[in-house]
Amino acid sequence: MLLVGCVALLLGWTAIGLAGLLRPRSVVLSGRVLFPLGALLGFALAVLAGASLLGGGIERLVLPLGLPGLPAHLRLDPLSSAFLVLLGAASGGISLFAGGYFRAGEGAAPGLLCLQYHLFLASMGLVLLADDAYSFLVAWEAMALSSYFLVTTQHRLAEIRRAGFLYLLMAHVGAICLLLAFGVLQGGSGLFTFAAMRAAHLSPGWAAAAFLLALLGFGAKAGLVPLHVWLPEAHPAAPSPVSALMSGVMLKTAVYGVLRVGLDLLGHPVWWWGLAPLALGLLTIVYGALFAAVQTDMKRLLAYSSVENIGIAFTGVGLTMVFAGSGMPVVAALALLATLYHCLNHSFMKSLLFLGTGAVLHATGERNLGRLGGLMHRMPWVAWLTLVGTLAIAGLPPLNGFVSEWLLLQSFLFTDGLPHALVNLLIPMGAALVALGAALAGYVMVKFYGIIFLGQPREASLVHAHDCGWLERIGLLWLALGCVLLGLFPLQVIGALGAVTAELVGAVVPQASPHWWLLAPVPGRPVSYGPVVFLTATLAVVLMTVLIVRLTYRQRVRRAPAWDCGFGALTARMQDTAEGFGQPIRHIFQPFFEIERELPAPADRAPRYRIAIAERIWKLLYEPLVRAVERLANTVARVQQGRISVYLLYSFATLLVLLAVAMAS
Amino acid sequence: MSAIEWITQVLEVALALAAAPVFLGWLNQCRAWLQNRRAPSLWLPYRNLRKLFHKEAVIAENASPLFRIAPYVVFGAMALAAGIIPSMGTQLPLVVSADAIALVGLFAAARMFMTLAAMDVGTAFGTLGARREMMVGFLAEPALLMVIFVASMLSSSTALPVITRNLASGHLGLSPGLAFSAVAFVLVLLAENARIPVDNPATHLELTMIHEAMVLEYSARHLALIEWAAQLKLFNYVCIGFALFLPWGVARAQIGPLGLLVAIPALAAKLAAAGAGLALIETVSAKMRVMRIPEFLASAFLFAVLGLLVHVLLGA
Amino acid sequence: MELLLLLAVPITGAALLGILGAHRRAPELNAAFSLATLLAAGALAARVIRHGDLLLGAEQFYIDPFNVFLVALTAFVGLTTALFSRPYMRVELEHGRVTPGRLRLYHAMYQLFMFTMLLALTTNNMGLMWVAMEGATLSTVLLVTLYRTPESLEAGWKYFILCGVGIAQALFGTILLYVAAGKVLGAQGMTALLWTHLDAVKSQLEPTVLALAFVFLLIGYGTKVGLVPLHSWLPDAHAEGPTPISAVLSGLLLNVALYAVVRSKVLVEGALHSRLPSMMLMGFGLLSVVLASLLLWRQRDIKRLFAYSSIEHMGIATFAFGMGGPMANFAALLHMTVHSLTKSSIFFTAGHAAQKAGTQLMEQIRGLITLSPTVGWGLMLGSLAILGVPPFGVFASEFLILTTAMHAQPWATPILLGALAVAFAGIFSKVQPMVFGETSGRRLPHPPALLPVFAHLAIVLMLGLYIPPYLAEWYRAAAHLIGGP
Amino acid sequence: MTHLTLGQQLLDSCAALLLLLSFAMLSQRRVVTLVNLYAVQGAVLTAATLLLAWRTGEGHLYLSAALTLGLKVAFLPWLLHRLIRRLGVYWDTEPLLNVSGTMLVGLVIVVFAFALAQPITLLASTATRSAVGIAVSVVLLAFLMMITRRKAMSQVVGFLSMENGVFFGAMSASYGMPMVVELGVALDVLVGVLVLGVFFFQIRERFESLDLHHLEALKEHE
């Protein structure tokens, strides 16, 4: 029943999208009616999926679509329910925001955007429900395609076209990898349902090949280093609600995919498979955080931060597989919980941040951090709500980002119990990288928030910035609320996710504490975390301080120009820029970056300082690859050299060779 | 949870609040002695606080509410942290809700509010200080976490009291991993608390200052809270050090007034020694250039990771 | 009866249009004949579905699921192309690129071309099939040179000579087949070239001779399929002729040629008891896919680009037929169908785009989506479809082919993966700037006929999501006929 | 080896003559001579067909012979000569490979062709076993000729000569093809040559020459 409901909601999304085409130029129809309606469906989906998650049951449905002999199989199990909750809940807030965000006269018609947007939502839903390779891939690519069109909304800009191209290319290559992975998984049975794949017995070599192909395919979508290059291009290019959706929800479908293939379809994982996602995840964490720290474009910064967070999720996946493969199901369940929780958290906080940048972008028309500043005074709603997201993503207690990092670090503590000497030596190092990533995330977020919202406006035009509308506020409020609630009530969330861990690794993390407010998930170890108490205590101490100070303190507060060590006239140009804020990172991690500097000469009349940072990965991997293909194409082009005699010679030679082969055999 | 536990809890916080300024005073005194100067009064920090609390507060015109909230948050965070660290007893009710990782998170939260507030007014010094503070932070924080991680692995728990209890019971001895961690921890402590060689709280030189640059725009009660919070932070760090490396004397298990009676003098003794030690370190080392700080902290991080490695290699 | 109609209608049309081809209403007449052909094809298909295989005309014609679906496809695309060519050729006339006299030639030859393809598909006689295939070349060679530009003349010449030489090899192959069959069937005369008879005795045929025959047939018909390295004429001929002709050459003639190759393969593999023909097909297929996808990177002319893409897709289908087996054959047949529909629709939009921009050079075609959203979206969706992006049908066939290959011929999959990725980058990097961005172009005197484009794309989309059961049955039966491991 | 009858001997000499003519065409640079050689080839083919018809008594072979005579000895050479006169192309330029080189390659090809024909010969029902090898040789040599020539006209003659080879193959291996097919083939050849005629005029109108180097613009390699 729930599955039918979910499918109906997905169809509803499609219908809403099509309704947008009725009056494609009407902002009122799309913005005030259809997008909020889509948000409602999103919430409904979250509720339905949540019910299924709590019920823990599995529902199946077969639709007469797809290939002959392979009708579309759908399945609602705890894993897909968990991700559907994520999709519904996050997209609800984003859709509300989008309702106020899309306006007339900006790029494509609102109705068309409405169609693409809702198709994007529906296809993500279908990805999560699909239970055979074909419908999965169709949904997977439909997701890529609809988001591609959303990314290229402003197709008149060359950089956006480039971003779109790169995005779709990577998505397609990834999809082919997935296709091949499914080709292996079917094990020659010719049956492409997931049920058949679960039943198929693969030799270890083939199973590993399937997993690696899947990792490659899903990693390309998730933005796992070094397949992440499309991500910092595409996310900034898209309209902000779409960036939010891509970063907050779409990337998670890749995590879903890896979990589905690695832990469900392949059955029992071999422990060393987990090392690949683990290593790549750790690399991705550090890499993403470092590049986020040196960005000057606020959406690019967030995009790299998404790369980092995906790294955390994949680290969790890797740990889960290592533990599950080593016969430690309960610990594996803990790591899996950390992964799932992080996905959920990230979908809320990153959506919140992207939407915040969207509001800023709308109010100021600027994406460059160097031209923003002081927006806290002009856009208090956006500023305060974004602050919640900023603190959450920096992993500060008692918000949600901390919970998942806490869980992940806890599962790292168990690695010394692994029965493999070398691994058991190396994996704890991973914890160090996770910690480094978390600390860097704090750095990035201070930079992000401080430069946009605090300080003085760096441009005169910023004075005219205005706060966002009420629909946008509701959307932001919902997401911020999500960050807080997910942070405060982890126990309830983890309880609901128990069905997923039971499904995938066959164990549930026991709850060692009898209290509803105390999270004590680590079996046999006196470890606990009580965010509600934590928050209460913090608030109590802070309030008490305020109270005492207020009571004892008699003087009034006086407002005066900033002192600044008495330097006199203070201008906005004296503040640190985004480049300046990234300088320590650039300095410390120089080898990571490809830096191009333009320094002013001492006698310069109009001195200009410019710095551009690129990824070495382009020079090291992608550019040589493209050059190699080009060289190959040039070489091959010699074949087609215009002379008919030569063409005849080809035919002649082919004929002789084939005749010789035919005679020989 | 018995009443006595709650009393210990409140007592711990109160003691920390009270002792933090005096610990700083003691440190300064030791330093002055070592440098052949006449030492300032042990109570000077108190007088400073009192003075600040009675001044008129001046706030920059374009400061946002965040600027005014931050001192309270920072102070609150440090006070709460004092309640989490088992400086006197291990049976603390609050500790159930916040383990060592949460403690690190709490420090991070305080730092984040501090830096955001520093950027709020939009002065050159404020942002400069914020940037440097975050630079120190992002290297020191993982190092601290790694230090705690080693201890956690030893005791299979990230709850500080459990670790302390375990270590204090003595059956572990001093693990070689912990030795490395201890070195790392001292480095982190110096960096995090703006001590020489990372920062010099006594100067206002733009080339070097970190902490002071951030708080330039603060005055009166806000500044007082921040200063007090800084003193608390130092106190807390030292107490973490005790909890991890010198757990002896802390009241364990069934806590009673008797336990506290032992614990308080023990703590005082350890603090006195630590203050002297820190003063010695600060005296023999010179302030380094800002851009050398990462190297300093990187070695801290490295030591911490090395500690982990050694622990896994030898300890497990 | 249906068969008679099917063949009589286009040849009558050719005769009639040979006289009236320059008339004001000739394009409509052309479309009407194509419609009649389609109706006849539909009736024939219905009859085959109802009654099973048909042997007609003193065993000279044989209709089974394999060819009847191609007949229906050919007639359908023939009609839509005729509809498309209506405004297209009028614009060409007004732009002065063709004269009324050449328009007459065009219309007459169009119908004749349809006739030869339908004959090649329906005949049971391998010799007659050869005659029809050669006829198809001859009827189109003058269409390729319709504009009389130096390039079109060159393209026409290469087309004629290379295909002529190729097809001569096919004749030799047919003779060898005849020799071998004569030994078994004994009879001099007709039966030894009839496919049904050959198929019945294929296991008794002399293997070595058949292997040689297959090589000759493969070289011959493979030239027309455009298999690398026999493909050299294809990009030239497809790019330089009028767009409707490019559409039918790419969409239909390649299919017919591949049909001939597959028919030969069925016989030979039955006789040979070895996988030699399969290996050859797979080799040709892979080589075509790889080379074509690399050459896509160097294209500047829009029609040439998609001509290379045709080589690539024929390579994929050939590879799949080489793998054999019910799944791969099914997929290959599906691939032929969807490629033909998609590629012709792409040529339709590309033709309009080129007319609007006044050039076939891609760097001068920009911002179609602003200038004419339907053409822009048509080209965008068509290109995505041909690149194998779901939910279009090309993806369905590639899905089946690649997944089967992963099991049956795993060594080939990295090559295919790489080639498909390269092809995607090659085509999409060129299509995107044409569709998006700032525009340049002019309005046309006649509104473009986009119904065929979207009709094709709709069918391709449907085939990606849902294959009607009777169609699936059809494919299955055909796939069974083709056989394999 | 059995004793060869007169008919067989005659047939074999016809075959040898065909091969000889092929080599002659390969080395010939004068276009008019090339066409004449082609006509002679047609005549030998007619003779061979007649011989076969007489020996086997197959009725349709007479028809074949008549067709060959009409088409390949009379009509096509006449048409080609006419074209040559109208277009003024008498000489081919230096071939891409010099004559002796071409001959050497041709020799190798003949050996290959005979090896190839071995299995077919075993199967051939006629008394003209060696002829199959010669037919294959003629086809391949014509192919070689097309590769090495630079003028469109010589290429066409090569093409037609290839068709002769195929025809001779059919004749020698299985007494020709069924009549329908043979008629169809003849029709195709006829139409093909007519189309070519049109083509020549178009090419000349455009380029004022029939040299193939004008037709090398469409390519991928710069």
| pLDDT over threshold 80, residue B90 | no
d(CA C383, CA C438): 20
Q: Flag if A642 and D221 touch (Cβ within 8 Å).
A: yes
Averaged pLDDT, C29-35: 90
Q: Within an 8 Å CB–CB cutoff, is residue D96 touching chain A?
A: yes
**All partners of chain B with 3 or more CB pairs under 8 angstroms:** A
For position D1, what pLDDT does the model report?
40
Q: Within an 8 Å CB–CB cutoff, is residue D152 touching chain C?
A: yes
Q: Flag if C171 and D185 touch (Cβ within 8 Å).
A: yes
For position A568, what pLDDT does the model report?
67
pLDDT band, very low/low/confident/very high, at A105 (cuts 50, 70, 90): low
Q: Within an 8 Å CB–CB cutoff, is residue D160 touching chain A?
A: no
ipTM: 0.88
What beta strand segments (E) does A529-643 contain? 557-560, 593-598, 610-615
Residue numbers in C near A141 (CB within 8 A): 389-391, 395
Q: Which residue has better confidence, D6 or C109?
A: C109
Per mean pLDDT, which of A146-160, C281-295, C404-418 is the most reliable? C281-295
d(CA B133, CA B124): 14
d(CA B240, CA B247): 9
- pLDDT-above-70 percentage for chain C: 98
- Give how far C190 is from chain D: nearest CA, Å: 6
Q: Which of A399, A576, A579, A590 to mutate to test the interface with B (most CBs of B within 10 A)?
A: A576
pLDDT band, very low/low/confident/very high, at D205 (cuts 50, 70, 90): confident
For position A67, what pLDDT does the model report?
82
Q: Within an 8 Å CB–CB cutoff, is residue C212 touching chain D?
A: yes
Q: Which amino acid belongs to residue D52?
A: L
A:620-649 residues touching chain C, CB 8 A cutoff = 629-630, 632-634, 636-637, 639-640, 644, 647-648
- Round to the nearest angstrom and report the end-to-end CA distance of chain D: 58
Torsion, Cα B264 B266 B272 B276, to 10 degrees, reads: -150
Residue numbers in C near D184 (CB within 8 A): 127-128, 130-131
- Convert the pLDDT of each residue in A284-330 to its tens digit: 999 999 999 888 889 999 999 999 999 999 999 999 998 898 888 88
Nearest Cα residue in chain D from C173: D166
Say if CB A353 and CB A386 are below 8 A apart. Answer: yes
Averaged pLDDT, A419-425: 76
C:242-261 residues touching chain D, CB 8 A cutoff = none
Domain boundaries, chain B: 3-315
Q: Which amino acid belongs to residue C346?
A: I
- Round to the nearest angstrom and report the end-to-end CA distance of chain A: 61
- Convert the pLDDT of each residue in C203-255 to its tens digit: 888 888 888 889 999 999 999 999 988 988 999 898 888 899 999 999 899 99
- Convert the pLDDT of each residue in A578-587 to its tens digit: 888 888 888 8
- Is there contact between C and B if contact means ≥3 C-beta pairs under 8 Å? no
Say if CB B131 and CB B288 are below 8 A apart. Answer: no
Q: The whole model's pTM is what?
A: 0.91
C-alpha distances out from residue A497 to A398, B97, D212, Å: 20, 22, 75
Q: Within an 8 Å CB–CB cutoff, is residue D183 touching chain A?
A: no
pLDDT band, very low/low/confident/very high, at C190 (cuts 50, 70, 90): low
Averaged pLDDT, A388-406: 90
- Convert the pLDDT of each residue in C89-98 to its tens digit: 888 888 888 8
d(CA A302, CA A232): 8
Averaged pLDDT, A38-43: 92
φ/ψ (deg, to 5) at C123: -70, 150
Pairing of strands A59-67, A70-76: antiparallel
Q: Within an 8 Å CB–CB cutoff, is residue C415 touching chain A?
A: no
Domain boundaries, chain C: 275-485
pLDDT band, very low/low/confident/very high, at B170 (cuts 50, 70, 90): low
- pLDDT-above-90 percentage for chain B: 11
Averaged pLDDT, C150-168: 88
Place of tokens 């991705």: A284
Per DSSP, what are the bridge partners of residue A593?
A615
Say if CB B100 and CB A410 are below 8 A apart. Answer: no
d(CA A91, CA A245): 7
Residue C442 is given by DSSP the state -
Averaged pLDDT, D40-56: 87
For position B253, what pLDDT does the model report?
59
Averaged pLDDT, C310-335: 92
Pairing of strands C54-56, B57-60: unpaired
Averaged pLDDT, A381-408: 91
CB atoms within 10 A of CB C327: 20
Q: Which residue has better confidence, B253 or C184?
A: C184
pLDDT band, very low/low/confident/very high, at D9 (cuts 50, 70, 90): confident
For position A302, what pLDDT does the model report?
93
Mean pLDDT of chain A: 87
Q: Flag if A645 and D115 touch (Cβ within 8 Å).
A: no
Q: Which pair of structure tokens corresponds to residue D87? A: 């277009």
C-alpha distances out from residue A113 to A117, A151, A160, C379, Å: 6, 10, 16, 19
| pLDDT over threshold 80, residue A356 | yes
Mean pLDDT of chain B: 84
Q: Is the link from the previous residue into C391 a cis peptide, with omega within 30 of 0? A: yes
pLDDT band, very low/low/confident/very high, at C76 (cuts 50, 70, 90): very high
- Convert the pLDDT of each residue in B20-78 to its tens digit: 999 989 988 898 888 888 888 888 888 888 888 888 888 888 888 899 889 999 999 99
Say if CB A213 and CB A181 are below 8 A apart. Answer: yes
